[in-house]
Amino acid sequence: MVCISNVVVVGAYWGDEGKGKIIDLLASGADWVVRFNGGDNAGHTIVAEGKKVVLHILPSGVLQGRNVAIGPDVFFNPETFLKDYEAVVSSGFRISGRILIDERAHVIMPYHIALDAGLESEGDIKIGTTKRGIGPVARDRASRTEDLSVADIISPYFRKKLLSVLAAKKDELVRHKIIGGSEETSGYADGIVDKYSGYAEKIRAFVGSVSYELNSAIANGSSVLLEGAQGTLLDIVHGTRPFVTSSNTTAGGAFANLGLNPKLFKVIGVVKAYPTRVGEGLLPTELNDDLGKQIQTEGGEFGATTGRPRRVGMPDFVALKYSAMINAVDEWAVTKADVLAGKRFRAAVAYEKNGERTEQFPFSLEGWKPVYSSKTYYFEKFTEADSVLMAEKGFNSIPEGLKDYVKDFVQFTNVPVSMISLSPKREITVVKGVLEGTKRYLE
Ligand code: IMP
Ligand code: MG
């Protein structure tokens, strides 16, 4: 078992770093596993007890009987929540811990989903969203008056509040053909109330205050694991705007969103051995060649939520150093190192534009080209049996080429590594000796 106290897990690149597996691994030592941001735009794939489960909103700790919570700044789609719940039960897992959904969470309504598609086709800038309604519900959250919370949908005044929200939105709903005319508002509201009242009854028992519950749990010695969705470079503030999501994906965001004391947490940044990106926006180290295709296929780089192929790039140390800074990362967890076996790869160590060179990750990536170190990394392919042995024997037994790569990015980012994942399977993860070994690189 991996020993933890309180930990926040964030993605270092553009999401899909394999946070699900790392959280699943850490969950065995946690009393609570908590989602702090995003919504069902996320897809966490977990392979546990020989079964593969994809969860979109329900924290994966549920598979191990942990208490799980959905925080107050999460965009909450009750339909997806109930589907996740069903998926867990029908895969044969028993839900034995508590489930807590914050009363403040922002509820995704059918018109958010319809507007997400509509707004994407209307504007000049296409973000390539997951079309789960995230942008539109985030806009309503900022409006303060057009947001419906979990507390609203379980209240007797739900219909009244919904009607007032729809009144404010009617022109936009008509323009996007979500309703034919404002006279349809009342009938449209009835349909939503029907459906959402059903959801409300099913979730009512889970609703409460996550901030109170967690602060009190921590005060009483419980350990809490915070699970981020998406990655640092998709953060609404620090990411590659405008091609970002609508929530805070960073460690600081987690504490702000949940109302928790940052001083009580360790930050683990999950780094996939190579970056990927779905949706629009530049991926500076993008590979448009056979190597990229090979990594995409062997790494199964297709969206867990949308099925879209993920673009693949060379490792980007500049982006990782930025992520380390923004999140105050204490330790990296490296995932999918096995996918790079048998391939020659390099790493970006600076950016360049019109003769200007920088080691800072640029705000607008437009025109900036990655500068690669002259070094080529390579290690031979290994079998699953080999990787089981490596996990048993620890850091010293991993291939020299992989060690060399790890050493360079540890030194570049000034952050050690505590885990190296060599397979989607929970047990095939090298933990033994990793932190000690990589801390030595920083002496
Ligand atoms: P939205 O979050 O659906 O609004 O999408 C905004 C951007 O974030 C798009 O580029 C999406 O592809 C990306 N995105 C959102 N959620 C995820 C995720 O869980 N993994 C990877 N990319 C994501
Ligand atoms: Mg994902």
First to last CA, the chain: 28
In DSSP terms, 429 is beta-bridged to 421
d(CA 191, CA 184): 11
Asked about 106 being catalytic, the answer comes back as: no
d(CA 18, ligand 1 centre) in Å: 15
pLDDT in tens, 230-245: 999 999 999 999 999 9
> Which tokens is 208 given?
């409460």
Edge-to-edge strand ranges of the sheet holding 224-231: 207-208, 99-102, 67-70, 32-35, 224-231, 7-11, 266-272, 331-335, 417-421, 429-430
**Which atom of ligand 1 is closest in space to residue 308's alpha carbon?**
12
Q: What is the pLDDT of residue 4?
A: 45
In DSSP terms, 144 is beta-bridged to none
* 3-class DSSP assignment, residue 418: strand
d(CA 125, ligand 1 centre) in Å: 15
Mean of pLDDT values over 28-48: 92
Residue 2 has pLDDT above 50, yes or no: no
Relative to the alpha carbon of 126, which ligand is closest? 1
**Which atom of ligand 1 is closest in space to residue 234's alpha carbon?**
8
> Which tokens is 48 given?
């546990």
Q: What is the pLDDT of residue 3?
A: 42
Q: What is the pLDDT of residue 106?
A: 98
At position 166, the amino acid (one-letter code) is L
**Which atom of ligand 1 is closest in space to residue 138's alpha carbon?**
4
d(CA 44, ligand 2 centre) in Å: 5
Residue 383 has pLDDT above 80, yes or no: yes
d(CA 321, CA 233): 12
Mean of pLDDT values over 74-86: 97
**Which atom of ligand 1 is closest in space to residue 42's alpha carbon?**
19
d(CA 224, CA 222): 7
Ligand 1 pocket test: which of 41, 137, 246 has the largest number of ligand atoms within 8 Å of its C-beta?
Answer: 41
> Which tokens is 209 given?
């205050």
Asked about 176 being catalytic, the answer comes back as: no
From atom 20 of ligand 1, which residue's Cα is the shortest distance away? 15
Relative to the alpha carbon of 138, which ligand is closest? 1
d(CA 358, CA 114): 42
d(CA 325, ligand 2 centre) in Å: 23
pTM of the model: 0.96
- What is the average pLDDT score of the chain? 95
Four-residue CA torsion sign, 417, 409, 327, 56: negative
Mean of pLDDT values over 402-423: 98
Mean of pLDDT values over 22-41: 95
Work out the pLDDT band at 49, boundaries 50, 70, 90. confident
pLDDT in tens, 168-213: 999 999 999 999 999 999 999 999 999 999 999 999 999 999 999 9
From atom 8 of ligand 1, which residue's Cα is the shortest distance away? 245
pLDDT in tens, 102-157: 999 999 999 999 999 999 888 889 999 999 999 999 999 999 999 999 999 999 99
Residues with CB under 6 A from ligand 1: 14-16, 41-43, 127-130, 132, 134-135, 229-230, 234, 243, 245-246, 278-279
From atom 1 of ligand 1, which residue's Cα is the shortest distance away? 129
Are 71 and 50 within 8 A, CB to CB?
A: no
Residue 321 has pLDDT above 90, yes or no: yes
Are 393 and 382 within 8 A, CB to CB?
A: no
Q: What is the pLDDT of residue 51?
A: 86
The separation between CA 298 and the C-alpha centre of its own chain, rounded to angstroms, equals 21
CB within 8 A of 343, min separation 6: which ones? 291, 294, 295, 378
Work out the pLDDT band at 43, boundaries 50, 70, 90. confident
Return the DSSP state at 397.
G
d(CA 305, ligand 2 centre) in Å: 7
The fraction of the chain above a pLDDT of 70, given in percent, is 99
Work out the pLDDT band at 1, boundaries 50, 70, 90. very low
Q: What is the pLDDT of residue 50?
A: 83
- Choose the catalytic residue: 24, 44, 147, 152: 44
* Cα–Cα nearest to 238, from 361, 410, 71: 361
Work out the pLDDT band at 167, boundaries 50, 70, 90. very high
d(CA 402, ligand 2 centre) in Å: 25
From atom 11 of ligand 1, which residue's Cα is the shortest distance away? 129
